Structures are given as C-alpha cells and as structure tokens.
Amino acid sequence: MAARVPDDLLAMLRSREDAQGIQILPVEEYKPGSRVRITQGGFAGYEGIFQAATCRDRVTVLLDVLGRKARTTVDSASIEPA
C-alpha cells in the first residue's frame, strides 16, 4: 500500500530543485539572535529567535508559547525574517 504525499509538501520540495532535479540548499542568512517568523506547519504565524542550523535543512528556533520559552526544530524553508 503506497502512502499519499500531500501536494503542498511535493510543491515545496520541487521548489527547491534546479532544472536537473538536484536539491538546492538554502544559504544560511540568519544569525543567532535574529527574529524570524515560521510560515508553515503547526507553528505557522509564530515569531521566535533563530538559534542555529542543526543540519542541512533544519533550524532551531526559540519560541514564546503560553508565556514559556520553547525550543523547536523546523524546516529551514519554513522561516522568514520577522
């Protein structure tokens, strides 16, 4: 039984490919302490503090959730400057 991949996930992955289908890795443009906004996923709309790139396509962001600091790791393509 094949799993169905959501169309928006496929579109996001395809948007990061060049003409040969090779994944284009985002250039890290954020410095620790920079304010960022999460644009996709369960924390979409939240603003936080960029902490670090954890691997090729993941970053750690410090959020203020219900008055508490929470560290989360998200796809690097799902953040933008706040």
Looking at the domain assignment, is residue 60 inside a domain?
yes
Tokens coding 66: 């219900």
Q: What is the pLDDT of residue 68?
A: 94
CB contact at 8 A, 44 and 24: no
DSSP 3-state of 43: coil
**CATH number of domain containing 56:** 2.30.30.30
Average of per-residue pLDDT across 51-70? 90
Q: What is the pLDDT of residues 38-60, one digit of tens each?
A: 999 999 999 999 999 887 788 99
Percent of the chain with pLDDT over 90: 49
- Domain-located, residue 59: yes
Give yes or no for residue 2 having a pLDDT over 70: yes
Q: Quick check: pTM over 0.75?
A: no
What confidence score (pLDDT) does residue 81 get?
Answer: 92
Residue 44: inside a domain: yes
Q: What whole-number distance in Å separates Cα of residue 52 and Cα of residue 28? A: 9
Find the domain containing 53 and state its range.
25-81
Counting the structural domains of the chain, the total is 1
